Amino acid sequence: MPTSELKNDRYLRALLQQPVDTTPVWIMRQAGRYLPEYRALRKQAGSFMNLCTNPELACEVTLQPLERFDLDAAILFSDILTIPDAMGLGLYFAEGEGPKFEKTIRTAADVEALPVPDPELELSYVTDAVRTIRKALDGRVPLIGFSGSPWTLATYMVEGGSSKDFSKVKGMLYSDPKTLHAMLDKIADSVILYLNAQIAAGAQSVMVFDTWGGVLSPHVYREFSLNYMAKIVDGLQREADGRTVPVTLFTKNGGRWAQHIAATGCDAMGVDWTIDLKEVVTEVGDKVALQGNMDPSVLYADAQTIQTEVKRVLSDFGDKQTGHVFNLGHGIHQHVNPDHLKVLVDSVHEFGRKA
């Protein structure tokens, strides 16, 4: 479906720095635990992975926030760790502990043995979900596909789960960089196939989440994270069905590297709340569109405070007529009152209206 057939295409237009009537908004983790209907469906499904691997349930979860809020995009309901799971590492979720893997990658032999998954085989539940969601959306808003970045996926694959100090993967980085590069290269190849499969299935925009790039020093970030995201950008199918497919890169705590991220050839970059949006606008100019960057914790405040912060973020972007997608600086917290998100979304559209 070309973008011209979309009932609301302002999100795609903003990413491509084309004119918009008002600033578009969507929210990271907009389909998730803060919604009672999500919690009910997850309980019915029995587990998070059952939700992710059932295309009909993934579709239902994806659409839930659109029934409550006037959002300008839907994002595929899935997990960033689907690729390592498809590589045979055995993803599971321990209660209260987050994601874990049954197997870890520690040696060159481990890396050599890693397969590159076929998205239409080992990850067909994701591409089936994309097709199901696109059909259900019926042109209502665009659908965002996504993946974790190679560095972020590697941290989980080496550590075996979440980490506070990243000692094992950073240890590999400094003691055996050749092995880590081989691993990152294989993951990047897998991400390219994965995102291109999502695009072929109907994703109208794609995003790469580099959740843990910000734990690296600047030169290490460029070598071990950004270089592989640039490879992904170069490998993506940027047009499909007569439409441009924009790509957004987001490194949490990565705002200080804005110029380097903008130089990858991506269409947009996400920024979190730890950097002044005005500074990023000054640094990158019109090279890329920007997404962000309100602190998610603002949503614990009252309506007036939320509106004030929305105005501040819009003001920080400046008087440019397009090129900004409003978002939180990271995912919405699970204990936020959904009514507060409605205040945010409606305020963005009201205060972001263009002359």
pLDDT at 355: 76
Enumerate the active-site residues. Answer: 29, 33, 42, 79, 156
Alpha helices, DSSP H only, in 242-337? 258-262, 277-284, 303-317
Domain tally, the chain: 1
Question: Which one, of 289, 318, 296, 307, lies nearest residue 343 by Cα?
Answer: 307
Read off the DSSP letter of residue 98.
E
Task: Give the residue-averaged pLDDT of 322-344.
Answer: 97
pLDDT in tens, 113-134: 999 999 999 999 999 999 999 9
Per-residue confidence at 174, pLDDT binned at 50, 70, 90?
very high
Q: What is the CATH number of the domain that holds 67?
A: 3.20.20.210
Percent of the chain with pLDDT over 70: 99
3-state secondary structure of 321: coil
Annotated binding-site ranges for substrate:
29-33, 79, 156, 211, 330
- Which amino acid would we find at residue 37? E
pLDDT at 1: 40
pTM recorded for the entire structure: 0.96
User: Whole-angstrom Cα distance, residue 8 to residue 6?
Assistant: 5
β-pairing, 91-94 vs 74-75, is unpaired
User: Whole-angstrom Cα distance, residue 32 to residue 92?
Assistant: 18
Task: Give the residue-averaged pLDDT of 81-89.
Answer: 96
User: What mean pLDDT is reported for the chain?
Assistant: 96
Annotated binding-site ranges:
29-33, 79, 156, 211, 330
- 105: its two tokens: 């990658």
pLDDT over 80 at 150, yes or no: yes
pLDDT over 90 at 8, yes or no: yes
pLDDT at 12: 98
- Which amino acid would we find at residue 258? A
Per-residue confidence at 97, pLDDT binned at 50, 70, 90?
confident
User: Whole-angstrom Cα distance, residue 61 to residue 32?
Assistant: 8
pLDDT in tens, 207-254: 999 999 999 999 999 999 999 999 999 999 999 988 899 999 999 999
Percent of the chain with pLDDT over 90: 94
Q: The domain containing residue 336 runs over which residues? A: 3-351
CB neighbour burial string for 172-185, b if at least 16 within 10 angstroms, e if fewer: bbeebeebbbebbe
